[in-house]
Every structure is written in C-alpha cells, then in structure tokens.
C-alpha cells in the first residue's frame, strides 16, 4: 500500500517536471509577434484586423490574413476607450470582432502562473514526501505495542500427535490439556482446577514447538505463537503492552493455546542485572504474571512455554496457578531416533539398502531437528550425485555434515600443513583407541570441514545420561592428544590446537567446580554463574569461595591437564609405528574409516586383549 503511494508520487513528480518544461518552452514555438499599441491602431485603421481577444490587459489579435499577433494595453482603460483616445472611428472599430475573456479562466492560470508555481510545487512535494516518511516511522513506533503474534490455525497442514515421534511421556502429560480444551465442563463439574500454564523443558530442537502445535491440532483450537525475544525491544514498556495485546487476542479466540517460545528471554530471575533492558524484561515478566493470575477458569486459554534453561527462570513463574506443570522432553534415544527418522523420511524416496536403524545407532545426541536436517542434507546430496533415491551412504555422509559442517574442498592445505594436520589428528585417534573409556573412532580425516582443518569423529556407542570421572580423564587425554603429537613430532605446536585446549580447559574447570570430581576439595559447587544482559550478553561468575580455594581449584586444573598430557605423551611415544601408519594413510587418502582404522590395531591382538576395560567402550 505504501509502495503504491510512493510510486504514484514519483510518477506525479515526473509528470509535473515535464509539464513545467513544456509550459516554459512551448510558447515561443507559436511565433506570435508582439506589436505595439501604435501598430495595432494603425492596423485597425487599415481594416486589417479581424478579431481581438481581450484577456485582462493582454490582447490577442487575429488578422484577416490569419496571422496572429499580440499586444499589451494599459491596465485600466477598456479597449474601446483606448481606440477612442487614439481617434479610431466607430465604423473602423465596428469592423473588428472584439471578444472579452474572463482572465480567471483555466487557460490564464496555465499560461501565466504555472511556470512560476512549478518550483514551489516541487519543493512542497519534496517536503510532503519527507514528512510522510517520518510519519511512517512514527506510526511504526506506535505499532510496537502490538504483539507480532502468529495465529497458525488454518494455515498449512494440521499437526497432531501423530507427527511427533517418540516423546511418549510428554504426549501423555499433554493429552490431559487436549482433553480439557475439548471438554472443559467435565473437569469444572468435578471442581478440578486445570493448569493455566505448562512449561516444556528441553534442549533446542527436541520438538517443544512441534508438541505445542500438536496439542492445538489435537484439540482443534487456535494456536498463538510468539517468541520471548520478540517482547524485548528498545523502548521500555513495549514488552508489557505486547503481553497485554497477546493475552487479549488469545482470550478473544478461546479456547486457544498461547505458546511462548524461549520464555527465558523474558522470564529470567529478576533483580540480577544492570541496565535499561533489564527493567524492560522485568516489566514484561510482571505483565505475564499479572495476565496469568487474571485468568479465569472459564477463560479456557492455556499457556504453553518452552525453554532450555529452567535454571535461570524466575521462581515466580513456577508458582501454583502459573507454570506449575512442567513437561521434560529429553533428547531422543535410539528407538525414538529411528521413529523420528521414519516420520521425516516419509516423503523422501529411500533405496532398499537404507537402514534407519543403523543411522539411529550412529546419531546419539542428535535432536529431532538435527535428524530432520540430516535427512534433508542426504536428499540434497542425492540430487547432487544425480540419483533418484537416497542411499545409505548419502545419509551417513550427511552425519558429518550436520556434526562438523560441510566439507571445504576449496580450502586446500599446503603439503606442510597437511602433514601437521595428519599428525595432529592421528594423535587424537591413537590416544582415543588406546584408552578404555573413550568413544570409538568412526573416522579420521584431514579434509577441512567447517572451521576445522581436520577432524577425528568419535561417536558414543550408546545413549549416555551421565559420565564418570575416569571417562572425563580419558577424554582429556584425547583432547590434548593432537597438541602432544604435534609437539613430539615437530618439536613445536601450531595454532591448530587452540580449540582442543579450550575444550579441555572448560572440561577440567567443570569437573572441579561443578561435578565435584576434585580430590582435594570437598564435593560442592564453586561459583555461581549468572547470565546478565547488559551491553550485550555476558556470563558473569559470582565467586562464592575464598582466594585460597581459588588457588586450589587452579592447582587441580593444572594437575588434570598435566596428567592428561603425560598420558597422551606416553601412548604416542609407545606407538610410534602405529602413528606413522595412520599418518601415511591419511596423507595418501585423506580419510580413514572405522573398519580400516580398527584393522590397523588387529594384528597385535594381545595388546588389545590385555586391556580388561576395553570391552566397556565398544
């Protein structure tokens, strides 16, 4: 609408410009001779003049020879008076046809005023356009108070619980909500209070939005969707206005589902930060609480909210009558992964050799969204390979794509860099192979993917809910394996190990301060992490221990890292010729798959068997 107006104004502008130029320069083309009054009198006396048109003090003269002329008289006196004064006889005057025209006619304006007016019109138009733009911005600012809520009922296809694979417990919990929305009287007759809010907890991509949509779909009610981050705007008070608007919309369409994604963006614990944006969040949160408290049992609106950070939520949100129900959605296990893959492979033609079970086995830790993405990548890869059906290999190849990023074939390493990368990755792989509690190596590669120059792909062989200290100790040795290998084989290290060291440091720190895995310190947590939104997002750690404890923490971290380095060094030095073998294959083929990698270690059977724990990891 605004565009049409804008285009219209531009066209108008151009037309006026053209018209202006024409009216400025068109007149001389008529070649009308300007004559003096004396000459006109002379012509009248000679009976040459056929007609005189009077427009104010302008005279347009047409001669009998059809020639046109113009003249100017003095403003005050009339034409006949002027002729009389000049002594023209009445007979001669009678020969001339005199026409008097109203000087306020359109033609007068067009001819006389327009050329002078055009500059003013243009300037006015310019100012007008500018004003409109500014006003448009103001209008936008005024619209801030409206929520950008999306009502998805009737748009697209309906989502039901059938579209959600796995997550049986969550579905069961939510089924009650569906039942309530469908038959609200059944519950109120028994005096049962139905929850106003349900909090869905789970990692990103596990299907929180999908489940909420499915609840609305099953109950056949409108679904209002908004993200917590959309509340937070530049101006204080906007968020609260949006909340009011949102709730009133939902109530108007009751029974309905109101879904607030990322509620942690507004629902953070209050009074923890600094700065203006914080006040804004607080107000928004307060408004949500007020609205939820104001809900009537008969309002028939149920608020579903999703977050992956329940720990940062304000306790006020979780009080009875607000989000008192919590549904936890875990990452899918192997059976659920297969089911999710099945749901999303529905529209993709798969070759007979595809085993979704194997794919599920190889994707521990993947969320529903990751799995959907995986199949999509596989389909794209299939098109690129000019095939009609997706094969197992495409799906397996896509796992790495999703995990680490796309291959960067153009990012070619020089021979020296290639060698360093090969030794680095071989270091990781070798240490991983030799330690009992690490995840099996699936692939070692020196093809760049994403940001990494090379990578060693290890995947857990089972879904794990928790890890042990000894597993972390082994993982640490694997992490520094690349660094140690570079050091041993080249005498110095490159920047390629930066990311490994960051990860190792983080893991050590968490082991000591969060997991209670220190040997010297009593089991408690050290430091409270708090996320603050002040000039950007920053993690602020509140120290709740003494300087002395801090020193012990540091020394514990040093010890963990030092031990990990020693372990890695020992393994790499003891297995020099295995390392050379891995590097040789890597330099030749760039990639080693799991089977080939394992076969390198097979001949030396006694060595593997001598390790009693080995079976645990495979």
Instruction: Name the residue nearer to Zn ion (CB basis): 93 or 404.
Output: 404
Task: Decide: helix, strand or coil at residue 465.
Answer: coil
Interface characters, 458-497, with ligand ADP (x: CB under 6 A): ----------------------------------------
Report CA 46 to chain centroid distance, whole Å. 89
Helix axes 576-589, 415-434, angle to 10 degrees: 130
Identified binder of ligand ADP from the candidate list 210, 246, 444, 585, rule CB under 6 A: 210
- Residue 361 beta carbon to ligand ADP: minimum distance, rounded to whole angstroms: 18
Instruction: Please return the burial class of 197, using the count of CB atoms within 10 Å of its CB with bins 0-12, 13-18 and 19+.
Output: buried
Stretch that binds Zn ion, among 401-409, 480-488, 542-550, 560-568 (CB under 5 A): 480-488
Residue 46: which H helix or E strand, with range? none
> Is residue 205 a contact residue for ligand ADP (CB under 6 A)?
yes
Tokens of 415: 């021979």
> Is residue 454 a contact residue for Zn ion (CB under 5 A)?
no
Q: How far is CA 43 from CA 21, 100, 163, 569, in A?
A: 35, 19, 99, 121
Stretch that binds ligand ADP, among 198-206, 355-363, 423-431, 432-440 (CB under 6 A): 198-206
Distance CA 203, CA 462 (A): 19
Interface characters, 498-517, with Zn ion (x: CB under 5 A): --x-----------------
Instruction: Name the residue nearer to ligand ADP (CB basis): 372 or 425.
Output: 372
Instruction: Name the residue nearer to ligand ADP (CB basis): 371 or 422.
Output: 371
Active site residue 425: yes
Burial 138-165 (b: 16+ CB within 10 A, else e): eeeeeebbebebeebbeeeebbbbebbb
Identified binder of ligand ADP from the candidate list 372, 377, 425, 475, rule CB under 6 A: 372
Which among 233, 425, 475, 556 is annotated as catalytic?
A: 425
Residue 601: which H helix or E strand, with range? none
Identified binder of Zn ion from the candidate list 399, 431, 482, 517, rule CB under 5 A: 482
Stretch that binds Zn ion, among 305-313, 385-393, 408-416, 478-486 (CB under 5 A): 478-486
Stretch that binds ligand ADP, among 86-94, 162-170, 225-233, 433-441 (CB under 6 A): 162-170
Distance CA 195, CA 213 (A): 18
Interface characters, 331-370, with ligand ADP (x: CB under 6 A): ---------x--x------------------------xx-
Q: Walk across the sheet containing 455-458 and list its strands.
A: 455-458, 441-445, 591-593
> Is residue 209 a contact residue for ligand ADP (CB under 6 A)?
yes
Distance CA 224, CA 174 (A): 17
Residue 58: which H helix or E strand, with range? strand 58-63
Positions in 254-313 near ligand ADP (CB under 6 A): 306
- Residue 263 beta carbon to ligand ADP: minimum distance, rounded to whole angstroms: 12
**Residue 466 dihedral angles phi and psi, to the nearest 5°:** -145, 165
Point out the residues that are catalytic: 425
Binding site for Zn ion (CB under 5 A): 482, 500
């Amino acid at each position: 609408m605004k565009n049409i107006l804008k285009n219209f104004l531009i066209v108008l502008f151009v037309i006026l410009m053209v018209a202006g130029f024409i009216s400025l320069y068109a007149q001389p083309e008529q070649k009308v001779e300007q004559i003096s009054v004396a000459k006109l009198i002379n012509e009248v006396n000679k009976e040459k003049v056929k007609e005189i048109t009077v427009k104010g003090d302008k005279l347009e003269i047409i001669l009998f020879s059809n020639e046109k002329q113009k003249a100017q008289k003095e403003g005050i006196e009339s034409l006949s008076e002027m002729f009389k004064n000049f002594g023209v006889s009445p007979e001669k005057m009678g020969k001339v046809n005199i026409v008097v025209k109203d000087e306020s006619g359109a033609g007068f304006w067009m001819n006389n005023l327009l050329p002078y007016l055009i500059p003013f019109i243009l300037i006015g138009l310019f100012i007008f356009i500018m004003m409109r733009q500014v006003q448009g911005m103001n209008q936008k600012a005024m619209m801030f108070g409206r929520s950008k809520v999306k009502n998805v009922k009737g748009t697209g296809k309906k989502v039901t619980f059938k579209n959600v694979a796995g997550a049986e417990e969550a579905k069961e919990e939510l089924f009650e909500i569906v039942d309530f929305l469908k038959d609200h009287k059944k519950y109120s007759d028994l005096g049962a209070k139905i929850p106003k809010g349900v909090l869905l907890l789970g990692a990103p991509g596990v299907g929180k939005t999908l489940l909420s949509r499915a609840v609305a779909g099953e109950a056949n009610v409108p679904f209002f969707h908004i993200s917590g981050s959309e509340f937070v705007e530049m101006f204080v008070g906007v968020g609260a206005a949006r909340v009011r608007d949102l709730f009133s919309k939902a109530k108007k369409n009751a029974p309905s589902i109101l879904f607030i994604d990322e509620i942690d963006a507004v629902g953070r614990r209050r009074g923890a930060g600094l700065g203006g944006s914080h006040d804004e969040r607080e107000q928004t949160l307060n408004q949500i609480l007020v609205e939820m408290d104001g809900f009537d049992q008969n309002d028939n609106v149920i608020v579903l909210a999703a977050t992956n950070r329940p720990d940062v939520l304000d306790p006020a949100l979780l009080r009875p009558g607000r989000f008192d129900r919590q549904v936890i959605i875990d990452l899918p296990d192997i059976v659920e992964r297969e089911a999710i893959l099945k749901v999303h492979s529905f529209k993709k033609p798969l070759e007979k050799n595809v085993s979704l079970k194997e794919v599920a086995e190889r994707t521990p830790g993947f969320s529903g969204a990751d799995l959907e993405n995986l199949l999509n990548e596989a389909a794209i890869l299939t098109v690129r390979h000019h095939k009609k059906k997706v094969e197992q290999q495409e799906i397996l190849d896509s796992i790495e794509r999703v995990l680490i990023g796309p291959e960067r074939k153009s990012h070619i390493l020089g021979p020296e860099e290639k060698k360093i990368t090969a030794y680095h990755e071989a270091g990781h792989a070798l240490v991983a192979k030799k330690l009992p509690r690490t995840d099996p190596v699936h692939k070692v590669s020196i093809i760049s993917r994403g940001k990494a120059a090379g990578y060693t792909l290890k995947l857990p062989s089972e879904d794990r809910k928790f890890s042990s200290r000894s597993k972390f100790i082994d993982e640490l040795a694997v992490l520094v394996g690349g660094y140690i290998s570079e050091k041993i084989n080249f005498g110095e290290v490159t920047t390629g190990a930066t990311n490994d060291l960051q990860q190792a440091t983080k893991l050590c720190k968490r082991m000591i301060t969060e997991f209670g895995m220190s040997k010297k310190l009593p089991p408690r947590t050290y430091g409270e992490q708090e996320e603050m939104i002040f000039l950007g997002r920053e993690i602020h750690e509140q120290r709740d221990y003494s300087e002395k404890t801090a020193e012990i923490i540091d020394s514990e971290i040093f010890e963990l890292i030092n031990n990990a380095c020693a372990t890695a060094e020992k393994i790499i030095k003891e297995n020099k010729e295995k390392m050379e073998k891995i590097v040789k294959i890597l330099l030749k083929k760039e990639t080693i798959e799991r089977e080939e990698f394992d076969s390198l270690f097979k001949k030396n059977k006694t060595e593997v068997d001598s390790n009693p724990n080995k079976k645990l990891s495979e």
